[in-house]
Structure 1
Amino acid sequence: MTAADLRDLLAEATDLTIVCHNNPDPDCLASALALGRIAAAAGVDERRILYSGDISHQQNRAFVNLLDVDLASLDPATVLDRETGSLLAFVDHGVPGRNNRVPEGTPVDIVIDHHPHEALDARFVDHREDVGATATILTEYVRELDVELDATLATALLFAIRRETLGFLRGVTRAEYEGAAFLHEPADADLLRRLASPAVTGATADAIATAIENRSIRGSTLLSNVGWTSERDALPQAADYLATLEGVETAVVFGIVDERVQLSARSTDSRVHVGDALADAFDDVGNAGGHREMAGGEIPLGIFADPAADGETLCDLVETVVVARLADAFGLSDVEGEAETEE
């Protein structure tokens, strides 16, 4: 489907609800912002961007605050009880109940995503696994539909493309470079610098330090349990760092956040698809998956352990089950493990 098809669908709408995935990142937020602008240009006066989870990563908080993104918490009832002409859109995710709090089976009108999916069901679907960011697709729409591109929107989309591709080093395609060239001039360079270097909280630094201290390596795969933490977004940051260690090609970091086990994985091993591996390991008990080089997941805590156990015991039980499942998914059962810590 084309950008013109999207515009025509939006032109029939009375209002638009854009749902972000849980704990939305810059790619999701920028895509939602751009879709809202496209809808406004098509004559949709009532628009809202909803999300579930937390915006706790310092970069995500800076993105929302510095770009003044108008967000509201998702109430599942608002997406179930919709009148004729009210459209529901997903950006950077695609299936109700997977990485979002939308009830399974909810009809969706618009899906724009670059993550792997077997099948997507919506009136308008643009699903491109071959591009590096969902923001790349939205940038293409903005350009083709001649939507007004101010500094805020250009900065949001350019930063999202850069962040999702790790500075044009991961999963990047020609489309990302073309999109960046289009966005470069109207973007705010000072704001881009501020978004790239937000302040880090002490709690985040502590969680990353725990991930480093608790690392264990089996072959070229590193696993680390940070235990109980309030800093969910420290997990992907720790995984990014640990994946750069000498001899490490795949890093998986996990921890307990509230009542869920959260996982984040990174890999440079061409033989490994970490999204498929996490899905194989945990899809029967939660939501997990992603790209070949980057993936994540979340699983209800009660699936793995006795809720009546004390904190330390519960953490140990979770580690035993999660490591066993990861070992099976990554083929580590026959690889001798070695705990590695700094003196």
Structure 2
Amino acid sequence: MPESNTSDLSVITSEEETKKHKERDIHSLRKKKAYELEEAFRKFAGQKMLVFIKGHPDPDSIASAWAHRFIGSNLGVEVNIVYFDPVSHAENRALVKTLGVAMIPYSDEMDLSDYTCYALVDTQANDFPALEKMPEGAALFSVVDHHRNMGKLKAYFTDIRENAGATSSIYAEYLKYGSVSMTMGNTEDVELSTALHHGIRSDTDNFLLAREIDWRAATYLCTYADNDMLRVIASSPITANTMDILQKALASKEIRDNYIFSGVGFVRDSDRDGIAQAADYLVRREGIDTAIIFGIVDDKYIHGSLRTQSTTVDPDSFLKSVLGVDKETGKPYGGGRLDKGGFQIPLGMFSGCSDRELLWELVSRTIKSKFLKSLGG
């Protein structure tokens, strides 16, 4: 009879125990974060809080802000969501309308004197005009984000996870492991879980870029989410103006190696998401792994979108190195994440140019030359 290898068995047992301990530690950490957020809310019970959405609201920021309000409202804090730029993408408008998301567009006439604190979701920017209308010393309550940690903000609660594909995934964990959770069949809970699921799907490119936390969150949310609502939101029609932008992008495309560039001319602010949709489409062309599409929005600024399937192009560092920073504010003109990025450059004194054809020629040549120069062209 061959002798059993007891040392191999002990190694296997040791590995299994280590795995179990690691899983227990991760589980405890998730519960700890949910507990810390709820404890922070309890300290502000009876007060009024704002959640700020940076830029044009997208599914991840909308759903995260909603989840933040849901948790706070259940712990005695009145929370309202404020956004500063229009909900421009058709799919995002469908999300807000279908699920009845309550958000307030910011205006200079708003009275914010009763709000003692504010929260940031899906961003680490802290330069909102609404802060000037809040009481002096208004507290930064929380920062929850999945982008690169900038390490600049101090809040009562901070949770920045670069290993998450969406901020919605982080909020789904709070709901799963905290005392404020969702129940089957409750209308608001169904709508919130549907929004969070869509937020994850959107920010991970239909789960192609999903990480472990995103899959776990989606699995949890599937128990409550409404699949019919998800289909309605995801299948929102493409507007005629977006189709026009796509047509312009195809007509003016310029290919250099595996890059495709295209300028789409003048675009209304309400149609600006068409630029990103054109980039999503053109990057799929055979032989192309990076698409850069841009246009002039509302005669005020140059807006562009980058999409890439390249394993060597980092949208964030690429756009920052090519376009540089605004000398007045010190902020980069562009930035991004794994497979996508964007940029905005004010036209400044050129915004008053009456010769639109000349203005576009100047902008188009300048933007293309900057990118081509960085590629050695």
Q: Does the TM-score normalized on the shorter chain lie above 0.5?
A: yes
Q: Name whichever structure is richer in helix by fraction.
A: 2
- Whole-angstrom distance in 1 between the partners of 2:297 and 2:351: 16
8 Å CA contact 1:62–1:195 kept in 2: the answer is yes
Determine if the alignment matches structure 1 residue 10 to structure 2 residue 50: no
8 Å CA contact 1:96–1:102 kept in 2: the answer is no
- Whole-angstrom distance in 2 between the partners of 1:298 and 1:276: 15
**Could you tell me how far 1:282 is from its partner in structure 2?**
3.2
The residue aligned with 2:369 is 324
Determine if the alignment matches structure 1 residue 236 to structure 2 residue 282: no
After superposition, what is the alpha-carbon deviation per residue over 1:46-66, rounded to whole angstroms, capped at 9, x for unaligned?
221111111111100000100
SS of 2:125's equivalent in the other structure is coil
**Could you tell me how far 1:327 is from its partner in structure 2?**
2.8
SS of 1:108's equivalent in the other structure is strand
Determine if the alignment matches structure 1 residue 54 to structure 2 residue 86: yes
Determine if the alignment matches structure 1 residue 295 to structure 2 residue 325: no
CA RMSD of aligned residues (A): 2.3
What pairs with 1:190-339 in structure 2 (closer than 5 Å)? 190-230=228-268, 231-258=271-298, 259-285=300-326, 287-302=333-348, 305=350, 307-328=352-373, 331-332=374-375, 334-335=376-377
Determine if the alignment matches structure 1 residue 33 to structure 2 residue 70: no
Q: 1:39 to 1:15 in 2, by over 3 A?
A: same
Which runs of 5 or more structure 1 residues have no equivalent in the other structure? 336-343
After superposition, what is the alpha-carbon deviation per residue over 1:31-79, rounded to whole angstroms, capped at 9, x for unaligned?
00000001112211x2211111111111000001001111112247869
8 Å CA contact 2:54–2:125 kept in 1: the answer is no
Q: 1:82 to 1:295 in 2, by over 3 A?
A: farther
**Could you tell me how far 1:106 is from its partner in structure 2?**
8.9
Determine if the alignment matches structure 1 residue 73 to structure 2 residue 105: yes
**Could you tell me how far 1:277 is from its partner in structure 2?**
1.5
Q: 1:323 to 1:101 in 2, by over 3 A?
A: farther
- Whole-angstrom distance in 2 between the partners of 1:146 and 1:239: 42
**Could you tell me how far 1:115 is from its partner in structure 2?**
1.6
The residue aligned with 2:27 is none
Q: 1:213 to 1:101 in 2, by over 3 A?
A: farther
**Could you tell me how far 1:322 is from its partner in structure 2?**
1.7
Aligned with 1:63 (options 82, 90, 95)? 95
**Percent identity among equivalent residues?**
33
Q: Indicate the structure (1 or 2) with the bigger Cα radius of gyration.
A: 2
Aligned with 2:191 (options 138, 152, 177)? 152
What pairs with 1:31-180 in structure 2 (closer than 5 Å)? 31-44=64-77, 46-75=78-107, 86-97=116-127, 108-123=140-155, 124-149=157-182, 150-170=189-209, 172-180=210-218
Q: How many residues align?
A: 325
The residue aligned with 1:339 is none
8 Å CA contact 2:117–2:138 kept in 1: the answer is no
The residue aligned with 1:338 is none
**Could you tell me how far 1:107 is from its partner in structure 2?**
6.3
Amino acid at match of 1:130: N
Further displaced range: 2-11 or 184-193: 2-11
SS of 1:16's equivalent in the other structure is strand
8 Å CA contact 1:28–1:91 kept in 2: the answer is yes
After superposition, what is the alpha-carbon deviation per residue over 1:104-143, rounded to whole angstroms, capped at 9, x for unaligned?
9996331111122432303122111221111111111111
